[in-house]
Amino acid sequence: MSELLAPAWAATGAGALVDDHALLTAMLAVEVALAESQAELGVIPEEAAKAIRAAAVPGNLDRAAIAEGVRETANPVVAFVAGLTAAVDPAAAEYVHRGSTSQDILDTALMLLCTATLGRVERDLLATAGTLAGHVRAHRDTPMAGRTLTQHAVPVTFGLKAATWLHLVLDAVERIRRARTGLPVSIGGAAGTLAAYDEYGPGAPELPDRVARKLGLARQVLPWHGIRTPIADVASALLVTTGALGKIAADVLVLSRTEIGEVTEERAPGRGASSAMPQKHNPVFATLVATAARQLPPLAVVLFQSMSAEDERSSGGWHAEWQPLRDALRTTAGAAANAVRLAETLRVRPEAMAANLRLTRGAIVSERVNAFLAPKLGKAVAKRLLAEAAVEAERTGADLADVLGADVPPGLLDPAGYTGLAGPLADRALARFEREEF
């Protein structure tokens, strides 16, 4: 699996979570859990289940033959089952995949891959949250320019900005956990009636729950071959996660511009280097996270579209899920890993924030001055006066205080004194993290 053109997840280990080896390993685990559950119910001999477990090793399978089988049968399970059956002791071969269908095995295996990937994403999100919480504490009261529609608006604090990021990450953790704990086993048989399972022996109604317990998955209410909510739930959690991390990356990319310089990623030999410009220090981790955030929406669209599945099992809709789901999982895992590094390497520059606050020569606190003058002059008159004063200050290069003269106390124009409730609001996000309210 090439990572050369996969910046969103290259060298993060995300690819191995969902590659062909991981998928085959998961499919083998499902077949073993199925056989052992059937042995416990008396459907197949216990020795047969042991023989299936002994043979369930990825090295026993011909990956190329399974890939060729995908083209012949439109899914990887048929050739996979043939390969596993050939590897099992001949005395037990007839008990492999007994009563099952391709979708049972593949859907359940995909749930195992989702479980493992979402678990790693959660761990990385929590690590990112911990670092962001440190930024909130350190810069609770560090003033900076708040920007709306690309322009200076009113002062905020970097602590509040970091708290916003922290809140988003905790929202993502909440959704990842919800999706992960709800991933169900998929045992239904050919048309979701458990018919063949029941025909082979007793205990078919109990079989899905037994398999679920062995694999650590949630129980199914009904076979969900045509009910693609579990996949949509995963897609939703991944989309929120990359969107949340993408917001952090977008802010960092703006704030680290040369002419702004309020934050930067820590320099390290070779990191952020340009092939042509020696002076460059590009924001690498923010770029990688932003890449993932842009790639997830179209992948999620495909997964949501597959909910409109015809019949008891779909032709095309089910098949269309596999690659986008794999891509979405590894892209999100890569984004979460890169977000850890982004938070860790982020360096805050309060001196640049202070300098940028002065760029408009006091106009950034016009809202505050308006609130001071409105009771004296009337709201409309005060706003017009300030607009005219701001234009004059910009035209002449004077400070707004000089244009307004004695009508306004000088201290009223101090940006550091007008950050509203930024500190207490930042504390709320910090308290959510510290109390684990997510």
Catalytic residues: 274, 313
What is the spatial distance between Cα 198 and Cα 187, in angstroms, rounded to a whole number? Answer: 12
What is the spatial distance between Cα 404 and Cα 389, in angstroms, rounded to a whole number? Answer: 7
Dump the DSSP string for 161-215: HHHHHHHHHHHHHHHHHHHHHTPBP----TTSS-HHHHHHSS-GGGHHHHHHHHH
Who's near 150: CB < 8 A, 6+ residues apart? none
Closest of 392, 121, 367, 144 to residue 251, by C-alpha: 144
Q: What are phi and psi of 156, to 5 degrees?
A: -130, -165
Closest of 373, 370, 364, 368 to residue 399, by C-alpha: 364
Q: What are phi and psi of 263, to 5 degrees?
A: -140, 160
Question: Strands 346-348 and 263-265: what pairing?
Answer: antiparallel
Cβ(428)–Cβ(435) below 8 Å: no
Cβ(212)–Cβ(184) below 8 Å: yes
Who's near 240: CB < 8 A, 6+ residues apart? 171, 172, 175
What is the spatial distance between Cα 267 and Cα 260, in angstroms, rounded to a whole number? Answer: 17
From residue 383, alpha-carbon distances to 360, 371, 395, 418 in Å are: 17, 9, 18, 18
The structure tokens listed for 199 are 């025909």
Dump the DSSP string for 314-369: -SSHHHHHHHHHHHHHHHHHHHHHHHHHHHHHEEE-HHHHHHHHTTTTTGGGHHHH
Provide the phi-psi class of 271: left if phi over 0, else alpha when psi is between -120 and 50, else beta.
beta
What is the spatial distance between Cα 111 and Cα 187, in angstroms, rounded to a whole number? Answer: 12
The structure tokens listed for 431 are 């308290």
